[in-house]
């Protein structure tokens, strides 16, 4: 999907046409959507999310950051 939207942005800026909603690309878009659906049915659309960062850890990260000291060691 990311590549598709990247191409969409490129063609809008350089060629001024819309590859997602333009009627000339309807068949291509149908094939793309079918391929995405088939990939999901085969199990390739599964997303494993990470455990969210706790509020305490976020506060610790934000309090330890010093933008006036861009030294990499200060980030450890």
Domain coordinates in residue numbering, the chain: 2-41
pLDDT of 34 higher than 80: yes
Confidence category of residue 75, pLDDT binned at 50, 70, 90: low
Q: Transcribe 39-63 into DSSP letters.
A: HHHTTTT---PPPPPPHHHHHHHHH
Which pLDDT score is estimated for 42? 92
Which pLDDT score is estimated for 64? 78
The pTM of the full predicted model, rounded to 2 decimals, is 0.53
Q: 9: buried, middle or exposed (CB in 10 Å: 19+, 13-18, 0-12)?
A: exposed
The helix/strand/coil state of 25 is helix
- 12 versus 47: the higher-pLDDT residue is 12
The model's pLDDT over 55-67, given as tens digits with 9 standing for 90+, comes to 999 998 888 777 7
């Amino acid at each position: 999907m990311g590549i598709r939207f990247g191409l969409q942005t490129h063609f809008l800026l350089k060629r001024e046409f819309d590859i997602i909603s333009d009627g000339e690309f309807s068949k291509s878009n149908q094939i793309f959507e079918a391929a995405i659906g088939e990939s999901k049915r085969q199990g390739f659309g599964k997303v494993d999310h990470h455990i969210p960062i706790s509020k305490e850890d976020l506060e610790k990260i934000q309090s330890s950051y010093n933008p006036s000291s861009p030294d990499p060691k200060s980030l450890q």
